Structure 1
Amino acid sequence: MPLPIFEYKWTWDLKTPPEKLWHLVSDTNRFDRDSGLPPIKYLEKDENEFQNYRMPLEIIVFGIKLKYIQEPFEWTFPKRFSVVRNYSSGPVKQLKVIADLIPKGTGTFLEYKVWATPKDILGVAAIPFQIGVLSKINFDKIFRRYDKIAFENEEIFEQKAKVEFVKGGRKRLKSLEEVLAKRLKNPKIVEVLTNVLTNSDEIFASKIQPYFIAAKWELNKKEVLEACLEATRIGLLDFQWNLLCPSCKGAKQSKLSLYEIDKEVHCDACNIDFEANFENSVEITFKPNQLIRKVKENEYCVGGPHLTPHFIAQNLLQPNEEIEISPILEKGRYRIRTLTTKGFKLINSDPVAELESTFELTEEGWSSGENLISTYPKMKFKNSTKTEQLFILERAAWKDYSTTAMEVFLLQKFKDLFSDEVLKPEMHVSVGNLTILFTDLVQSTRMYYEIGDAPAFGKVLTHFEILKKAIDANNGAIVKTIGDAVMATFARPIQAVDALIMADEKLEESGLKLKAGIHSGHCLAVTLNEKIDYFGSTVNIAARLVNFSEGDDVVVSKEVSEDIEVSNWLKKTHHQTKDLSTEIKGFDNQFELLKIEL
């Protein structure tokens, strides 16, 4: 006799519209934790068997190991998500969930459906009580709580959680809070960080993102990041380096030191290998120091919409299958791709564009060109290949609250506090495009001879301090000093120019002059002399440009002079300039340079 399939449907009338409720309801990791489910355990995965985000997992409930294969989550923002789990052990054979968020007036009609297929008589007995009774009660509390939080424009992490401090942790927190307050100019940042450490739950506290805190409390991003670094130095926080998959953005490794990170990383979910890249794939996050509060970094659900908020839709299609979705898009560029095929289809979303469009993947790939679609489109995905495909609709340009390693390296505060953070000796990692500034003090040797060693050395130290303040004020960092020369890095050319102008004004008061060169381009990070350093053609060219400077001027490469911000600055300020066409030692080609009088 076949066992019955238990079907449950629960509905709620909620005050909050779907767009505002989605980030809470679709956060399946937090929802499963709030529902009382135990943490998951990853099982060994055969890459050929588990494709398209299928994951072999295990949880332990009442001492019973439940092993299951989780099918890929499917969703359309902000309307629906679903998942299927097929169990190989325990009393349940299959569990299927579909959640629909339907607009109703100014709120949401939430429909949550569960299908539970038992494997044996134990499952027949357990499902009606465990799911039919307990889950119904828990889900009602959770969804109404989420609705209240979203409706009142609050954040989930602002809700006071049950926090367990280690013995003496509260006293240590209070003491270090006072130390941090003395080091920071903005007391609001100290207040916010203390609140996060005291009240936030483990999910938030285990991965504190400075830029998220800055955005939420309307604080300066750089100041919050520097505050977190200061807090780490004094023992209030710890930091960790997370290696992010370029496809799904999930953290595939978390290390306490740069020295521990691997250059090559594998993402099980996407089944791809990728290299650590400080510009995009390595981020820094923070958590409470273990002497204050221990947080368990557990996962309760993987693969849900919360992990990839830049994915607007994700749908699994079998060969020759098609599906129609109606997502809500912002104006801008998107792309459609699948997980196992190369290439993608670009689309542009605009309120006045066409409402209906079909996007077909064939054995030859995607059609060429860029489609224009509405911000409230009806989109048809069609799989005309011979294999299963996981269709993904994602924002083409997307930046979350991650703080990349490159952004951290460009902070003078990081250089000052954590100069011991280095890579493995044999490792070199891309940091993307950087602007490199080299300076040299004019006639420093003569100065030592004319005024004596001690006074001259004092002037050199003053010159270093002036440069350091100017570089830091313009979001750069000193990499190293060589004699009385300085090498510094910036994210943008105009920052290097502004720093040099600021320093030159102060140095002029001391009767000192600088020679300087600036170049922008791709760089690699390495460990040299037990510190993070940079090498490559960009660095070599920047170092050579100083030789063409005479003092009270800066020689910049074409890449710098043609930068839009630098070009606009030159037009507005009317600095005297001189074109130079010359060879640079070590390079065969002719370089077009620009000398700018300061």
Structure 2
Amino acid sequence: MIQNLSDFLHQYPWEPEWLALGKPLDYLWDFDLPEPSEDLWPWLIDTSSFNKRIGVPEMHYTEKDGKLFGTSVNAGILMEWEEVPWEWEYLKGLNNARIYSKGLAKYVRSRYILYPKENGTKLLVYFGWIPRGLLGKSILPFGMKKLYSDYKKGLTDVIRDVRKKREYNKVGSNNYTFEKENIDLVTKSHPTKLIQISEELLKRKCNPEIIQKTIEYVLTEDDNNLYRIRVKQLAKEWNFNLTEILLVFLHGCRIGLFTLSWDVICPHCRGVRTEAKHLGDLRDMDSCDVCQIDFEATQANSIEVAFHVHPSVREVQKRFFCAAEPATKQHIFMQKYLSPDKQAESVLELGEGTYRFRTIGEKNFSIAELTDEDGIEILEWSPNSLHNEFKIKNHSKIQMINPTNQKLGFIIESRKEDQNVLRPADLFNLQEFRDLFNEESLAHGLSLDIGVQTILFTDIVGSTKLYSKLGDAKAFDKVRHHFIQVYRIIQESDGAVIKTIGDAVMASFPSSLKGLQASQNLQEYFTDESDPGILKIRTTLHTGPCLAVNLNSNIDYFGNTVNLAAKLQKDANAREIVFTESIFRDKEVRNYLLENGIKLRRIEFLQEWNKETIRIYKMKVSGKV
């Protein structure tokens, strides 16, 4: 453990190239914080919010050729610099540096080091400056004295907020009460436009509590949180149903409260590379200069849907008080750079799970299973040295080696997908989106991977005889009524109609169980023994990977999954639901079938296009329950 500044400089000496610029000014501060590192870490790595808290002037950043450049005005003095890529290791520390072209310094480096204690965390904060001229040598010591005082107060406030959040989480993420006087008070402070928007959202049958919460959020939330609104995260924080929140935001886009963007996300750093205003603006390839990669922008995890406050309601600007790279990449647990022919060591101390090991600029990565029981205990890691998959023991020693002639970045990151991302498929499977945004479509020739979807086909049995028997007018009236009910039942089951083909309907659902329940509800409605004239339908289901494409300027689904779901229709009869093994093997579906005592008949189905036989299942629905 580092005890003093001398220990620190011994462990982290200045590099000769910076010492050649002048004599450094070194500062090391020691703070005892009465909270565990796990609770402090998210607050400490968000250095932008912390700097804002302690009154550091706002900063402005631009990216050029994969590098980040910053400017700010401090005490009337213009500061310009190049931001050196950050390094950090989860719960252990972080460090960064800036190379100044203007201002009081030529160079600064900073570092946080965390040591766990029995009753909290010991935090070391280090700043090292190479001052520029006499002015820098004179002013920086006074500035650092004030900064130390600001840090003490700021960390005290962080402890308070950590404890507040802990108590908040104990009582539940949504313990809101909507008192009448609070609603009136907020309403009186709304601009006229927001009052009109609230009234229109109520007319559109959106949830009143969510409307009120959303208006308050737009009026009072920090600019940085409003810059890119992630509705899945809001659904968790507010403890409301995601679909209900989406309805407020989607309708809000149509009446001037929000705008929507289709953001292309780098698969490595998960930063936004392109912000498309319309789905048709997306292209098949994109790049990230920071991560030094080109990537396909049409993969399942490449696009995030974000909402933004409409500028006529509130001008929102992204405000920076620091680059805060670790806070923007919380899926990365370690980021370490090594100069050519350099080595470094670390001890792996993460929770059990699966992680990706990669070097910056390389698309290939290795999958590591971290375990407390067995596995590699000493890992030598250099470019292309790791197996595609390996098992490693927790608390193992990692030896990173850079044998190249270029600076090299080593990354350990979570393999888990960000659960707060709203994907295009989440909207495509929402009927309200298709109704409200029917002008949105992909560029011609572009196919978007939307992952695994459950596809449902319905068709009227005996429609030809129906037209012959009743005549066109009466038959059409029955078919039209059938479409109305099919649309209603699919929407009530959280599905969306993709298209109609003659008398048939194609729909999609977010899960196999939702699709099966919708099929059952459809068959129960169209198997009403009290109405001998009611139409009879057949339904078929399959789940699997799908592509979204542009067909007649609409969002259509394409692929083997869609094809098989449609082909099953030839083996389905009236009042039957036919589905594939992938539906049957779904855990939720199996539990539903067992709990409801539903009997199935298993048969063989010949796929004529490849002459392979698969198992399918038939479920007969006798009538309304």
Answer whether TM exceeds 0.5 for this pair: yes
Q: Does 1:120 align with 2:133?
A: yes
Given that residues 357 and 411 in structure 2 are in contact (C-alpha distance below 8 angstroms), is that contact kept between their aligned partners in structure 1? Answer: yes
Alpha-carbon distance, 1:363 to partner: 5.3
User: How do 1:73-472 and structure 2 match up within 5 A?
Assistant: 73-129=86-142, 131-153=143-165, 170-184=191-205, 186-277=207-298, 279-302=300-323, 304-318=325-339, 319-325=341-347, 327=349, 329-341=350-362, 343-350=364-371, 352-353=372-373, 357-362=377-382, 364-367=384-387, 370-374=390-394, 377=395, 379-383=397-401, 385-386=403-404, 388-472=407-491
Alpha-carbon distance, 1:66 to partner: 4.4
Task: For residue 370 of structure 1, give the secondary structure of its aligned residue in structure 2.
Answer: strand
Distance in 2 of aligned mates of 1:145 and 1:179: 41
Which residue of structure 2 aligns with residue 508 of structure 1?
A: 527
1:117-154 superposed Cα distances (whole Å, 9 cap, x missing partner): 1233333234234x414533544443333222112117
Are the structure 2 counterparts of residues 346 and 263 from structure 1 closer, same or farther at C-alpha, using a change threshold of 3 Å?
A: closer
Are the structure 2 counterparts of residues 368 and 445 from structure 1 closer, same or farther at C-alpha, using a change threshold of 3 Å?
A: closer
Task: For residue 165 of structure 2, give the secondary structure of its aligned residue in structure 1.
Answer: coil
Given that residues 545 and 555 in structure 1 are in contact (C-alpha distance below 8 angstroms), is that contact kept between their aligned partners in structure 2? Answer: yes
Distance in 1 of aligned mates of 2:136 and 2:572: 80
Given that residues 359 and 383 in structure 2 are in contact (C-alpha distance below 8 angstroms), is that contact kept between their aligned partners in structure 1? Answer: no
> Identity of paired residues, percent?
28
One-letter amino acid of the counterpart of residue 171, structure 1:
T
Alpha-carbon distance, 1:192 to partner: 2.3
Which residue of structure 2 aligns with residue 526 of structure 1?
A: 549
Distance in 1 of aligned mates of 2:82 and 2:224: 24
Alpha-carbon distance, 1:421 to partner: 1.5
Are the structure 2 counterparts of residues 356 and 273 from structure 1 closer, same or farther at C-alpha, using a change threshold of 3 Å?
A: closer
Task: For residue 128 of structure 2, give the secondary structure of its aligned residue in structure 1.
Answer: strand
Given that residues 314 and 392 in structure 1 are in contact (C-alpha distance below 8 angstroms), is that contact kept between their aligned partners in structure 2? Answer: yes
Given that residues 455 and 541 in structure 2 are in contact (C-alpha distance below 8 angstroms), is that contact kept between their aligned partners in structure 1? Answer: yes
Distance in 1 of aligned mates of 2:396 and 2:314: 49
1:385-426 superposed Cα distances (whole Å, 9 cap, x missing partner): 335432222222243311111112111121121111212223
Given that residues 285 and 298 in structure 2 are in contact (C-alpha distance below 8 angstroms), is that contact kept between their aligned partners in structure 1? Answer: no
Task: Name stretches of at least 5 consecutive residues in structure 1 with no aligned partner.
Answer: 159-164
Alpha-carbon distance, 1:460 to partner: 2.3
Q: Does 1:484 align with 2:506?
A: no
Given that residues 356 and 379 in structure 1 are in contact (C-alpha distance below 8 angstroms), is that contact kept between their aligned partners in structure 2? Answer: no
1:544-583 superposed Cα distances (whole Å, 9 cap, x missing partner): 2223322211333444444444455555544332413324
Distance in 1 of aligned mates of 2:34 and 2:211: 34
Which residue of structure 2 aligns with residue 589 of structure 1?
A: 611
Distance in 2 of aligned mates of 1:96 and 1:383: 23
One-letter amino acid of the counterpart of residue 160, structure 2:
K
Alpha-carbon distance, 1:40 to partner: 2.8
One-letter amino acid of the counterpart of residue 229, structure 1:
L
Which residue of structure 1 aligns with residue 182 of structure 2?
A: none
One-letter amino acid of the counterpart of residue 64, structure 2:
E
**What's the TM-score once normalised by structure 2's chain length?**
0.83
1:21-45 superposed Cα distances (whole Å, 9 cap, x missing partner): 2112201333345543334332431
1:206-232 superposed Cα distances (whole Å, 9 cap, x missing partner): 111111111112222232223322222
Which residue of structure 2 aligns with residue 59 of structure 1?
A: 71
Are the structure 2 counterparts of residues 100 and 181 from structure 1 closer, same or farther at C-alpha, using a change threshold of 3 Å?
A: farther
One-letter amino acid of the counterpart of residue 499, structure 2:
K
Which residue of structure 1 aligns with residue 15 of structure 2?
A: none
Q: Does 1:543 align with 2:566?
A: yes
Are the structure 2 counterparts of residues 204 and 563 from structure 1 closer, same or farther at C-alpha, using a change threshold of 3 Å?
A: same
Are the structure 2 counterparts of residues 444 and 65 from structure 1 closer, same or farther at C-alpha, using a change threshold of 3 Å?
A: farther
Alpha-carbon distance, 1:365 to partner: 1.4
Given that residues 321 and 383 in structure 1 are in contact (C-alpha distance below 8 angstroms), is that contact kept between their aligned partners in structure 2? Answer: yes
Distance in 2 of aligned mates of 1:571 and 1:151: 45
Alpha-carbon distance, 1:513 to partner: 1.6
Are the structure 2 counterparts of residues 76 and 243 from structure 1 closer, same or farther at C-alpha, using a change threshold of 3 Å?
A: same
Distance in 2 of aligned mates of 1:454 and 1:381: 78
Task: For residue 284 of structure 1, give the secondary structure of its aligned residue in structure 2.
Answer: strand
Which residue of structure 2 aligns with residue 495 of structure 1?
A: 514
Given that residues 456 and 541 in structure 2 are in contact (C-alpha distance below 8 angstroms), is that contact kept between their aligned partners in structure 1? Answer: yes
Distance in 1 of aligned mates of 2:125 and 2:509: 50
Q: Does 1:576 align with 2:600?
A: yes
1:313-337 superposed Cα distances (whole Å, 9 cap, x missing partner): 222234351222464x333222322
Alpha-carbon distance, 1:265 to partner: 0.9
Q: Does 1:20 align with 2:42?
A: no
**What's the TM-score once normalised by structure 1's chain length?**
0.87
Task: For residue 280 of structure 2, give the secondary structure of its aligned residue in structure 1.
Answer: helix
Task: Name stretches of at least 5 consecutive residues in structure 2 with no aligned partner.
Answer: 1-19, 175-185, 621-625
Task: For residue 177 of structure 1, give the secondary structure of its aligned residue in structure 2.
Answer: helix
Are the structure 2 counterparts of residues 13 and 355 from structure 1 closer, same or farther at C-alpha, using a change threshold of 3 Å?
A: farther
Task: For residue 204 of structure 1, give the secondary structure of its aligned residue in structure 2.
Answer: helix
Alpha-carbon distance, 1:65 to partner: 5.9
Given that residues 343 and 365 in structure 1 are in contact (C-alpha distance below 8 angstroms), is that contact kept between their aligned partners in structure 2? Answer: no
Given that residues 45 and 324 in structure 2 are in contact (C-alpha distance below 8 angstroms), is that contact kept between their aligned partners in structure 1? Answer: no
1:95-135 superposed Cα distances (whole Å, 9 cap, x missing partner): 11111233344433333211111233333234234x41453
Given that residues 581 and 617 in structure 2 are in contact (C-alpha distance below 8 angstroms), is that contact kept between their aligned partners in structure 1? Answer: no
Distance in 1 of aligned mates of 2:305 and 2:249: 11
Distance in 2 of aligned mates of 1:188 and 1:331: 40
Given that residues 460 and 484 in structure 1 are in contact (C-alpha distance below 8 angstroms), is that contact kept between their aligned partners in structure 2? Answer: yes
Are the structure 2 counterparts of residues 236 and 68 from structure 1 closer, same or farther at C-alpha, using a change threshold of 3 Å?
A: same
1:254-274 superposed Cα distances (whole Å, 9 cap, x missing partner): 222212223211112111111
